[in-house]
Amino acid sequence: MVGKSIPRVDAYEKVTGRAKFTDDLILNRALVAKVLHSTIGNGIVTSIDTSEAEALPGVVKVVTFKDVPDHCYPTPGHPWSVEPAHQDIADRNILTGRIRYYGDDIAAVVAEDEVTASRALKLIKVEYEEYPVEIHPRKSMYGSNPPIHFDKKDNVLARSNFFIGNVDEGLEQSDTVVKRSYKTSIVQHCHIENPISFAYMEKGRIVVVTSTQIPHIVRRVIGQALGIPWGRVRVIKPYIGGGFGNKQDVLYEPLNAFLTTQVGGRPVKLEVSREETFCNTRTRHSIEYDLTAGVDKEGHLLAKDMKAYSSQGAYASHGHAIAANGLTAWRLQYACPNTRGEAYTIYTNTPTAGAMRAYGIPQAAFAIECLMDDVAAEIHTDPLEFRRKNLIQGYYEDAYLKPIAANTNGIFQCLEKGAEYIHWDEKRKEYADQTGSVRRGIGMSLFSYKTGVWPISLEIAGARLSMNQDGSVQLQIGATEIGQGADTVFSQMAAETLHMDVENVHIVTVQDTDVTPFDTGAYASRQSFVTGTAVKQCAEQLLQKILDYAKTLLPEQETRELSLDHGWIYAGEEQVLSLEALAQEAYYSLSNSSVLTAEVSTQVKKNTIATGCCFAEVEVDMKLGTIQILNIINVHDSGKLLNPQLAQMQVHGGMSMGMGYGLSEQLVLDEKTGRPLNGNLLDYKLMTALDTPDIKADFVELDDPMGPYGNKALGEPPAIPGAPAIRNAVLHATGVAFNEIPLAPQRLIEGFKKAGLI
């Protein structure tokens, strides 16, 4: 079953509208909660008057920052640790009177209906003492008075560095040294389903039904936020309409859990609007890079230096992990004896940045891959040839995190496929000496990406299998299906190991922390690798139990090796017992009844690196400031493909995100207040179907020894290489190097004017 393009197991329910999402499950009698957000970007609340709101008919409860538990808690979807050094920064309160960004949460209303709740918000009177707002990380890191968080006087949340060899000596020995600065923008995930939850109390416990990627982590964080034992919280995750990392953070679930306790345990619905999703959930970090590279006469890298400045926003969320992940990427793929990296993550008065698909690598890859093209241009070398000359071939490992290694490395095969598809050699020559205002070019970029978070963080997953009376099996996992096809792949894995048809594997798509095995959730391209390991081990255990039980039902003289194949027990080559008959005996035998189940919880202590590349052909109209993508391809080395059609789907979706990241998407903030100026789907420029070219995806399948079925990361990597490939194609077409994205018309026209081309 593994390796086949079977239909998604959730497809029918979703396309017919039968799948139950959070909003479909909310009771008609549920109360409605709305959040009051600040209208300044930095300061304190000096007074708040809720009396008029409380007097409004239909209002059940109004709470402010003065009423919530005084517990600072962390929000990121990271595994918790018993070691304090591995715990996330706790800098958030359920509501706050210390405003740190425009839109901070200061009060909430619970009412009988949405209209009443919205009217009540407008009746709350708030007065502020304002402080200066700083939205730029390089300025904020020199401190502010008062600091954004009292325990970080210089507003630097964290910093880290590494040193390999001697970079200064390497640069002195270099024949050519190139220094450049690059910047990426703030973008939002724009998943279809906005964050939504409803909470109620049952038998003295809080139950929260929520659209989340990390139900078990949400349970823990609610307990921390309310200061109650974690066992008094139950979290249920139904079908989910996308997350892309935004829902790998605990958003408004703690507030909703608190609100139900304030209204006698009645159900409370808290749905976040699209505008609130842009401002009040999480974004992708904007990161600024200063990069330096030195090469010898033959074009070999002798030294590399990186300084990164990550704008965290108002609260820690995933914090420094994103910029630090970029430092890891700086060490990988390219062979260089002298490499140095330093990264700062800095609080700013902007919407909080958190996890987003590929977790800091799209930012780092944009800077790194633009630099590689800029170095190649400086020494008059073909960019593809320059990369081939400097890439590591075969096995390699991270110099600082030894368990992280490219156990299989298909990057050269990926480059070969991509170059052939785009006709690299021919078109580099064809587009070399163009004139006029409309020009064409081709560009490329590449990437590497870890699979999961070991050894930086804990990797643990669980799976449970039980055999039904008809010989089919029930599969329960704590890992979450968020639209990426996980349930389908896990079903294939179980079917593969149990030697049965996928139709006989019934997976439970809803996670419930009271009953589903513990798993940290959907992130880090970990699930098919980490949870897949748990599913395989669990299926192996159940298979052995089935065969052991079969021995008790067969004649004692039967000594041939038993096996299971598509519903039948075989002794050697002979069918001797149907699986359905065995299941009936296991359930109902008067003398030998034993329901067959298996459950595992496994800590996975391994990692492996996926690689790939993107090639793009563009047409640039310099007078209009537009870029049309004519051809684009991603080629991935993601180990063995578990479901080729789902793999294609993942790559197409990721490429779309990468193109939007490079061409049009940016959350624009007011310089004086930090207020988002385009926080809606009208003004925020997502690519549409009309903007999207034909997308090509291809693969190099190498059986990776670390993966449970030879597989490695694929969920996030497709979003990485698109933006730098497009930028490098524009460089080839026009000779102008744009070092900040998105490549929107205004930025393009300004660049072409500066270059004297228009």
Residue by residue, DSSP assigns 184-247 as ---B----SSPPEEEEEEETTEEEEEE--S-HHHHHHHHHHHHTS-GGGEEEEE-B----TTTT
**pLDDT tens digits, 53-75:** 999 999 999 999 999 999 999 99
Q: What residue has token string 């020559």? A: 429
Q: Phi, psi at residue 650, to the nearest 5°?
A: -60, -45
Task: Classify residue 671: in a domain, yes or no.
Answer: yes
Task: Classify residue 385: in a domain, yes or no.
Answer: yes
- Rounded to whole angstroms, the Cα distance separating 47 from 97 reads 9
- Rounded to whole angstroms, the Cα distance separating 7 from 84 reads 44
Task: Answer whether 255's CB lies under 8 Å from 270's CB.
Answer: yes
Q: In the predicted model, is pLDDT for residue 559 greater than 90? A: no
Same structural domain, 468 and 597: yes
Q: In the chain, what percentage of residues exceed pLDDT 90?
A: 98
pLDDT average, residue stretch 85-109 = 97
To the nearest 10°, report the CA torsion of 741, 747, 750, 752: 60
Q: In the predicted model, is pLDDT for residue 557 greater than 80? A: no
pLDDT average, residue stretch 695-714 = 97
Q: What residue has token string 């890298």? A: 301
pLDDT average, residue stretch 726-732 = 98
305: β partners? 292, 340
Residue 9, token pair as written in the block: 């197991």
- Rounded to whole angstroms, the Cα distance separating 261 from 10 reads 35
Task: Classify residue 87: in a domain, yes or no.
Answer: yes
Q: Which of 550, 568, 603 is the last residue of a domain?
A: 603
Measured CA distances, 42 to 38, 45, 130, 345 (Å): 9, 10, 6, 19
Q: Which residues contact 461 (CB under 8 A, 6 or more apart)?
A: 477, 478, 479, 517, 519, 520, 527, 530, 531, 533, 534, 601, 602, 604
- pLDDT band of residue 23 (cuts 50, 70, 90) is very high
- Rounded to whole angstroms, the Cα distance separating 242 from 130 reads 37
Q: Which residues contact 95 (CB under 8 A, 6 or more apart)?
A: 63, 64, 65, 67, 68, 105, 106, 107, 108, 255
Q: Say how many Å lie between the first and final Cα of the chain, rounded.
A: 57
HSE-up of residue 617 (Cα within 13 Å, Cβ side): 20
Same structural domain, 527 and 648: no
Q: In the predicted model, is pLDDT for residue 465 greater than 90? A: yes
**pLDDT tens digits, 363-399:** 999 999 999 999 999 999 999 999 999 999 999 999 9
Task: Answer whether 283's CB lies under 8 Å from 313's CB.
Answer: yes
Which helix (H) or strand (E) covers residue 126, if one does? strand 125-130
Same structural domain, 427 and 469: no
- pLDDT band of residue 556 (cuts 50, 70, 90) is confident
The pLDDT of residue 311: 98
Considering all CA atoms of the chain, what is the largest pairwise distance in Å, rounded to the nearest integer? 91
Measured CA distances, 488 to 358, 515, 642, 729 (Å): 22, 21, 10, 37
Task: Classify residue 589: in a domain, yes or no.
Answer: yes
Q: Of 162-171, 296-305, 399-408, where does mean pLDDT reach its minimum?
A: 399-408
Residue 430, token pair as written in the block: 């064809």
Neighbours of 748 (CB within 10 A): 25
**pLDDT tens digits, 296-347:** 999 999 999 999 999 999 999 999 999 999 999 999 999 999 999 999 999 9
- Overall pTM surpassing 0.95 (yes/no): yes
The pLDDT of residue 456: 93
The pLDDT of residue 105: 98
Q: Which residues contact 319 (CB under 8 A, 6 or more apart)?
A: 76, 88, 89, 157, 158, 312, 345
HSE-up of residue 636 (Cα within 13 Å, Cβ side): 31
| Parallel, antiparallel or unpaired: strands 609-621 and 626-637 | antiparallel
- Rounded to whole angstroms, the Cα distance separating 526 from 458 reads 12
Same structural domain, 585 and 706: no
- Rounded to whole angstroms, the Cα distance separating 253 from 33 reads 12
Q: In the chain, what percentage of residues exceed pLDDT 70?
A: 100
- Per the structure, the count of domains in the chain is 3
- Rounded to whole angstroms, the Cα distance separating 651 from 177 reads 35
Q: In the predicted model, is pLDDT for residue 156 greater than 90? A: yes
Same structural domain, 249 and 297: no
Q: In the predicted model, is pLDDT for residue 27 greater than 90? A: no
Sign of the torsion formed by the C-alpha atoms of 341, 606, 713 and 90: negative
**pLDDT tens digits, 742-756:** 999 999 999 999 999
The pLDDT of residue 391: 98
Q: Phi, psi at residue 159, to the nearest 5°?
A: -145, 155
- Rounded to whole angstroms, the Cα distance separating 327 from 510 reads 36
Same structural domain, 379 and 503: no
The CATH number of the domain where 110 resides is what?
Answer: 3.90.1170.50
Q: Which residues contact 416 (CB under 8 A, 6 or more apart)?
A: none
Q: Which of 570, 603, 636 is the last residue of a domain?
A: 603
The pLDDT of residue 28: 86
Q: How many residues does the chain have?
A: 758
327: β partners? none
**pLDDT tens digits, 425-443:** 999 999 999 999 999 999 9
Same structural domain, 497 and 423: no
Q: What range does the domain containing 245 cover?
A: 11-131+195-271
- pLDDT band of residue 12 (cuts 50, 70, 90) is very high
The pLDDT of residue 6: 97
Q: Phi, psi at residue 308, to the nearest 5°?
A: -125, 140
Same structural domain, 412 and 368: yes
Task: Answer whether 66's CB lies under 8 Å from 127's CB.
Answer: no
Alpha carbon 601 to its chain centroid, in Å, reads 24
- Average model confidence (pLDDT) for the chain? 97
Task: Classify residue 236: in a domain, yes or no.
Answer: yes
The CATH number of the domain where 658 resides is what?
Answer: 3.30.365.10
Q: Phi, psi at residue 601, to the nearest 5°?
A: -130, 120
Same structural domain, 356 and 421: yes
| Parallel, antiparallel or unpaired: strands 460-467 and 233-237 | unpaired
pLDDT average, residue stretch 496-504 = 97
pLDDT average, residue stretch 126-153 = 97
Q: Which of 223, 239, 271 is the last residue of a domain?
A: 271
- Residue 572: Cβ-neighbour burial (10 angstroms; 0-12, 13-18, 19+): exposed
- pLDDT band of residue 618 (cuts 50, 70, 90) is very high
Same structural domain, 499 and 645: no
pLDDT average, residue stretch 441-466 = 97
Task: Classify residue 54: in a domain, yes or no.
Answer: yes
Task: Classify residue 28: in a domain, yes or no.
Answer: yes
Task: Classify residue 476: in a domain, yes or no.
Answer: yes
Same structural domain, 384 and 403: yes
- Residue 70: Cβ-neighbour burial (10 angstroms; 0-12, 13-18, 19+): exposed
Same structural domain, 612 and 719: yes
